Amino acid sequence: MTFEVFRTTAEQIIGAADAALQSPDGVDEKKVSVFLDTTTDYARDALNMGVQLGLLSQKTNAVFVIASPCAKYLVTSIRDEKAAVFRFVLEQYEPFSVFKHRLDLSTGVPGQAAAQTKAICGITAHRDVVAATLIDLGTYGNALTSQGAGLYLASEGKTAEYLKVLNEAIYNRQTVELFITRRLERDAAEWIDRNDVLENLITAYQRLTTVSEDPRAPIIHAGNAFESFLAQLAGHHNVNIQGANGINAKGDRLEQAGHLKAKHKHIVKYLGHIRNAADHGIDPDIGHQWTIRDATAVEYVHVTLTAIRDLVDAKSGRFVL
C-alpha cells in the first residue's frame, strides 16, 4: 500500500463514513461536503484518509463505499466507544505506529516525528500536515496524550481499558442484533438478506440512541433496509423492478403484480413518504426540507420491523398485522 496523510480530523473521517453508510451506492466528495457542511477539498481529504485507514474504498475514481465493519461501530457507538473503535483502526495504520514511536524517541516533538515518519513511509504531504492530522487522530482515539507546550506522547496504561470499551461496542451491536432477530421472529429473521437488510436495521436501531442529535439517520438506515427488503421480495416473486427507484416505486411494482395487499400497500407508502421527507432535501410542496421529530424516527424504525415481519408472513399465506 502507498501511504499518504491528508489534512483532516477524526470527526470528519467519521462523518464521511457516516455519509457512506447512509448511501448504499456510495458517496462522492460533493455529497460528503454537504453532509459535513464543509468544502469539497476537506470532504475529499476526509474520504481519502478514510481509505488510508481502511474504513472506505474507492468504487470508482469519484465514488467511495464502506470497506470495513468498523465503520458501523464508529457511526453507531457512544463517544467513549467511538474513541476505542477509532483507536483500534488507527493502531493498524503503519504511518501512525511509526509516528507514535518517533514521538517517544524525540521526547514528544511532533515536527521531528512527522519528518521522520514522512521519510520512513514515503509520504509526500508536508510534515506539518502529517503532524497535525496524526495528532488529531491520535488524541481523538486516546492513543496520544498532550504533555503541554506542544508535546505529545503515546498514552500509557490504558490498553486494557480501551480494549474493554472496544469489546462493549461490539457487544452492544450484537445485543441489538439479538433484539431485532427476536422482534422479526424466526421466519423473517432467517429469510431477509443479512448484509443489505439486517445490518441496516441494526444500524438504524443503534442510531436511535443518539436520535436527538440526528433524527434523520435512523430513518435513512431503516429506509435503506426496507428498500433492499422490497428488492429481495420482488426477486422472490420474479417481479421486474428495473427502473423502480425508491420504496414507493418498488411497492407499486409488487402491488401491480398482485404481491402486495391493500393494507400492506398503505404501510409501504407510509415508509416511503417518511423516508423521502427525511432524505430528499427540499420538498417542492412546502419549499423547504421537512423537520423530523425524534418520535417519528423511533416509530419509523419499529414500523419498518413490523412491516418486514408482516410481508414475510404474507408471502407464505399468513396475513397478520
Residue 180's nearest CA partner among 196, 199, 160 is 199
**pLDDT number for residue 154:** 86
- Output the nine-digit C-alpha cell for 199: 445490518
- Output the nine-digit C-alpha cell for 147: 504533555
Query: Residues of the chain whose pLDDT is less than 70?
Result: 157-160
CA distance 104 to 203: 38
Q: Which residues contact 66 (CB under 8 A, 6 or more apart)?
A: 17, 20, 21, 55, 56, 57, 72
CA distance 224 to 203: 11
Alpha helices by DSSP H, listed for the chain, are 10-21, 29-36, 40-52, 70-76, 79-91, 94-105, 110-121, 127-140, 159-184, 186-191, 199-207, 216-236, 247-256, 262-279, 294-315
Q: Which helix (H) or strand (E) holds 65?
A: strand 64-66
DSSP 64: E
Indicate the pTM of the whole model: 0.84
CA distance 222 to 211: 13
CATH of 10-75, one of 3.40.50.1000, 1.10.10.10, 3.40.50.2300, 3.20.20.70: 1.10.10.10
Residue 242 has phi, psi (to 5 degrees) of: -60, 130
**pLDDT number for residue 199:** 94
The answer to whether 114 and 128 are in contact (CB under 8 A) is yes
Query: Is the domain covering 185-315 a CATH 1.20.120 domain?
Result: yes
Partners of 57 in beta bridges: 65
Cα–chain center distance at 26: 11
**pLDDT number for residue 287:** 87
Residue 8 has phi, psi (to 5 degrees) of: -160, -175
**Domain 10-75 identical in fold to domain 185-315:** no
Residue 274's nearest CA partner among 254, 253, 288, 293 is 293
Q: Where are the domains of the chain?
A: 10-75, 81-160, 185-315
**pLDDT number for residue 57:** 95
The answer to whether 274 and 219 are in contact (CB under 8 A) is yes
- Output the nine-digit C-alpha cell for 150: 506542544
**pLDDT number for residue 159:** 65
Residue 31 has phi, psi (to 5 degrees) of: -65, -40
